[in-house]
Structure 1
Amino acid sequence: MTEAAAPVLADANVRQMLSPFGLDIEYTRAEGNALHYTDEEGREHRVVDFACGFGSLMLGHNNSEIAERAKEILDAKVPVHTQLAQHSHTNDLARALNEIIARELHTDEPYYALFGNSGAEAVEIAIKHAEFDRLQRARELLDGVEDNIAAVRDAVSDGGAQVSPEAYALAGVAGSAGLEDLVAEVRRHNEAAAATPPLFLTIEGSFHGKLASSIQLTYNEMFRLPFKSLSAQARFVPADQPDALAKIVSDERVAVLDLVVEDGVVRVVERDFPVFGAFFLEPIRGEAGIRPLSEEFARTIQQVCAELGCPVVSDEIQCGTGRSGAFFAASHIGLVGDYIILAKSLAGGIAKTGVVLVREGRYRNDFELIHSSTFGKDSFSSLIALKVIEMLEADGGAAYRAAEERGAKLKTMLEAVRADFPDVVKDVRGRGLMLGLEFHDQSEAASEIIREQTQHGYIGFAVAGYLLRKHGIRTFTTASALHTFRFEPSIYLGDEDIAQLETALRAVCGVLRRQDEKGFAVV
């Protein structure tokens, strides 16, 4: 009798989905930009990894310097978890990040650091802090109204002011009513305004995580809609459309009423209630299809948010930590976020960490008393992140120059493929080592198989499986742009790796141009 196969109890459905495309591979070894797997005959195969942990491996798989540092930390028996104690390593990390902020974003204002264990958790922290800040601002606004009401009462009682007819009309109170009726209506209106749930702003195609709150900021409805009722909602702004942003802000604005005395007359004025929690954006939208945000739209967002008193949150989880050719991708477009979020490559592909950096003028000290994370702020991940920064900053930022140079060479190759296959490749875009190649939609393809794979959302898996099995290339489409393949290798990308990818992409383009029925079949 043969022994029964062990049941698959983790990711069983995903494994079943990958299997028809030959993507259900277990990798056994990784180094630099390469993954290795062993086939059924015991032969090892090298795969060039252009997915690289969806941007997490700026310094490659199992970087030897980072691995050695990890061993040193563990051998030294450095305490990993010391909650409710001083954390010099996290403070050193925060200071190192502030030095880069000052250099790249040209601001001397310090940023305070809040740590979590992943990018998605860091987004949750940012949402929580923004809501904590919004409620404080709302309370300050309403307290100010109450102070003004008291001042108006004193002025009217002393005979130094009279209520204008316009004040009654604006508040919706009969002209024959008295001051107390006006006060009661102002308070009733403001109570209703204060009950307005918070709204967050972000950009169409955005991806900010899949946890209960962060999923509300992720544009893809497949991920978001099942959990829509769980948390505060977002409004998605079309990219590079200032008029659309202005309309959303106008439609969602909420005002409270205030009483003031001007030249002996009591008047009702409207003041904006802080209904908008924050504007979350990615300087390069990864899952939208590797789409850099324009400098003009970034400037518009900052101007609008400044008028609203709404913080701008720069999500650099995927595009940051040097991937764009600078530590912060926002530095290319002049964007200075009130919050900055980092994760992925910050931990060097060895540890797991995420950090929210909050500008001093926005930071609420009391937030530290109501938020904590068991695996945030641990010494191991902080020391690894410090090593990553040391490596990136070495030799005057040689790593950033490498990302720019390697990215430029990779992009030139992708553009050459597009030039030779304009009927197959629609666009090439991105910056540094965060690039995307978009194929033309194949939902009306002449080939029945290619057409059906596209219509059912599987064409990306079919192409990825072909690239892997036939050409030793690993990459995938982005989450919300299923015709765009991502290329996010490490700075150690070699010319031979680029050449291998070019051969593979030209073969894919040939299959699509010929509409080869069997081209992507797994043999």
Structure 2
Amino acid sequence: MVDRRVTSPAQQCAIEQAETWGAHNYQPLPVVIAGGEGAWLTDLDGNRYLDLLSAYSAVNFGHCHPALTRAAVEQLHRVTITSRAVYSAGYGPFVQALAELCGKEMALPMNTGVEAVETAIKLSRKWGYETKGVAEDRANIVVMDGNFHGRTTTVISFSNDETARRGYGPFTPGFRSVPFGDLAAVAEAIDPDTVAVLVEPIQGEAGVVVPPAEFLPGVRELCSEHGVLLIADEIQSGLGRTGTTFACEHSGVVPDLYLLGKALGGGILPVSAVVGDRAVLGLLQPGQHGSTFGANPLACAVGLAAVELLRTGELQRRSAELGAVLHERLTGLVGNGVTAVRGKGLWAGVDIDPALATARTICYRLLDRRVIAKDTHERTIRLAPPLVITREELEGALDALEASLA
């Protein structure tokens, strides 16, 4: 049993209102956030917290980044929603910049990350039937055990998380799940009807799990050999989080499709995209896929500003340099309340010794020290600070973690 941190009457009232009127699909930490700037969040009482969660990497650029908020405010005074029934002035510049960032020919913007995943599933099946020659309704996609790609009905159909699946069947067929990191299992799962392999370069929800060095290059080789699309879900791992623009770069791998989201919206609104070459995205015809809000003018303005921040490479370098500090400090905690550390750049999964406490207990202790982090799977804390965090701020947060483990 974890003793909940005592909050002020104002925060307690806000929490009770949320718990009474809102569905209980999350278990938030007992703090009510009213503002944020850079790597910091402020609660209703004016207390400041160092954010080591970044909204699961949606806030890579920090809270209220001036370039991103300026782009959003300026666009708010022009036009925000038009639908794709017309062209908007910002659409062309956004999709061009995003495609160029990825080294691809086309981009298809959507809203949430799971929409990008669903879009990629449809695209890969369409490519399989129209280009590869797979018989209708025979296409299969190879996925990984421990994956997290969202919680729509199709996506949970190939999840191993029983909490996400239980009570939501019947499930969508057409997926084959193999152990993450097991190249032989991927090879065995591929057959003539396989149209794609869908993989997170680093599994985030599973606890920031990094595969063996040879895994992604081997999957790329298998896909090329068998005429199968490689789809990289970089929704959490991409856009600077691991010290490179995309986590795939650590393995020298270029996928056929990138799935992007979270940080693409600059921490301001949902923006996602599937980015690839014309041979796949060019198969779509009018009416075959769409979204009322996808690629809306406000999203394009913010998304373009986010891409521009990444073009300089400064944030990627910060992530790599401060990531080295993060992992050196965390590795030093192994054997002192920590059993293992994984990750790359400013992204880490920290396994808490169960003899000491649950991961959630440590998150409560961090909250008492004005640091926000979140647990996953009972024993792991995920750390993903905004890429704009300073070394001093990062060291302070790690000091708080060390104290919380004492």
Q: Same fold (TM over 0.5)?
A: yes
- Conserved 8 A contact 2:341-2:350: yes
- Aligned equivalent of 1:216, options 157, 172, 176: 157
Partner of 1:408: 324
Report the CA distance between 1:14 and its aligned residue: 5.4
The one-letter code sitting in structure 1 at the alignment partner of 2:43 is Y
Classify 1:216/1:240 alpha carbon distance in 2 versus 1 (closer, same or farther; 3 Å). same
- The alpha carbon displacement at 1:373 in A equals 0.4
CA distance in 1, matches of 2:106, 2:92: 9
- 2:344 partner letter: R
Alpha-carbon distance in structure 2 between the residues aligned to 1:474 and 1:121: 28
Which residue of structure 1 lines up, in the alignment, with residue 98 of structure 2? 97
Q: Distance in 1 between matches of 2:344 and 2:94?
A: 26
Structure 2 residue matching 1:381: 3-state secondary structure: helix
Which residue is 2:372 aligned to?
474
* 2-structure distance, mates of 1:431, 1:127: 27
From the CA coordinates, give the structure whose radius of gyration is larger. 1
Q: In structure 1, what is the Cα distance between the partners aligned to 2:18 and 2:394?
A: 40
Does residue 177 of structure 2 align to residue 236 of structure 1? Answer: yes
| CA distance in structure 2 between the partners assigned to 1:437 and 1:6 by the alignment | 33
Of 60-69 and 460-469, the range deviating more from structure 2: 460-469
Q: TM-score, normalised by structure 1?
A: 0.70
- 1:267-325 per-residue CA deviation (whole Å, 9 max, x = no partner) reads xxxxx3x2x24211111111121122344111221222223322111111001111122
Equivalent-residue separation in structure 1 for 2:54 and 2:31 (angstroms)? 15
Change (3 A) 1:508 1:88: same
Classify 1:463/1:386 alpha carbon distance in 2 versus 1 (closer, same or farther; 3 Å).
same
Alignment match, 1:345: 263
Shift of 1:127: 0.9
> Retained in 2: the 8 A contact 1:200–1:232?
no
**Helix, strand or coil: the match of 1:230?**
coil
| 1:392 matched residue in structure 2 | 310
CA gap of 1:372–1:467, structure 2 versus 1, over 3 A, is: same
Paired amino acid for 2:122: K
Contact 1:66 1:387 in 2 (8 A): yes
Q: Whole-Å Cα distance in 2 between the matches of residues 29 and 340 of structure 1?
A: 32
Q: Which has the higher helix share?
A: 1
Amino acid at match of 1:501: A
In structure 1, how many angstroms separate the alpha carbons of the residues matched to 2:88 and 2:17? 44
5+ residue gaps in structure 1?
Answer: 103-109, 143-193, 254-271, 451-458, 511-523
Identify if the C-alpha distance between structure 1 residues 65 and 244 changes in structure 2 by more than 3 Å, giving closer, same or farther: same
2:13 alignment partner in structure 1? none
Paired AA for residue 482 in structure 1: E
Q: Mapping of 1:197-346 within 5 angstroms? A: 198-249=139-190, 253=191, 272=192, 274=193, 276-346=194-264
2 CA distance for matches of 1:280 and 1:116? 18
Could you tell me which amino acid in structure 2 is paired with residue 284 of structure 1?
I
User: 1:504 and 1:381 mapped to 2: Cα distance?
Assistant: 36
Q: Deviations over 1:215-240 (max 9, x none)?
A: 23433222134334232343222133
Would the alpha carbon gap of residues 98 and 435 (structure 1) be closer, same or farther in structure 2, given more than 3 Å must change?
same
Hey, what does 1:175 align to over in structure 2?
A: none
Change (3 A) 1:282 1:389: same
Select 2:113's aligned residue among 106, 115, 119. Answer: 119
**435, 450, 469: which is aligned to 2:348?**
435
Distance in 2, Cα, partners of 1:278 & 1:64: 39
Query: Over residues 134-174 of structure 1, what are the superposed CA-to-partner deviations in whole Å (9 max), with x where a residue is unaligned?
Result: 23247x466xxxxxxxxxxxxxxxxxxxxxxxxxxxxxxxx
Unaligned runs of 5+ in 2: 1-15
CA shift at 1:49, angstroms?
A: 0.7
- Aligned match for 2:400, one of 473, 498, 504: 504
Q: Is the 8 A contact 1:347 1:353 kept in 2?
A: yes
**Offset, 1:425:** 1.2
Q: Report the CA distance shift for 1:368/1:429 in structure 2 as closer, same or farther (over 3 A).
A: farther
Give the RMSD, CA atoms, in angstroms.
2.3
Distance 2:284 2:277 in 1: 15
CA contact (8 A) 2:111 2:293 kept: yes
Letter in 2 for 1:487: L
Q: Indicate which of 357, 362, 377 corresponds to 1:463.
A: 362
- Which residue number in structure 1 is paired with residue 33 of structure 2? 27
Structure 1 residue identity aligned to 2:63: H
User: SS where residue 114 of structure 1 aligns?
Assistant: strand
2:54 equivalent to 1:48:
no
Contact 1:206–1:218 (Cα < 8 Å) also in 2: yes
Checking the alignment, whether the CA contact within 8 Å between 2:98 and 2:304 is kept in structure 1 is no
Query: Residue 83 of structure 2 contacts residue 294 of structure 2 at CA under 8 Å; is this kept in 1?
Result: no
Seen in structure 2, the aligned counterparts of structure 1 residues 306 and 225 have a Cα distance that, compared at 3 Å, is farther
Distance in 2 (alpha carbons) for counterparts of 1:404 and 1:508: 26
Q: 1:413 & 1:362 partners in 2: Cα distance?
A: 44
Residues 413 and 195 (structure 1), Cα distance of their counterparts in 2 relative to 1, 3 Å cut: closer
Three-state SS of the structure 2 residue aligned to 1:235 is strand
Shift in Å, 1:67: 1.0
Q: Deviations over 1:422-456 (max 9, x none)?
A: 1531222211111221223x2xx4x8xx5xxxxxx
Q: Percent identity?
A: 27
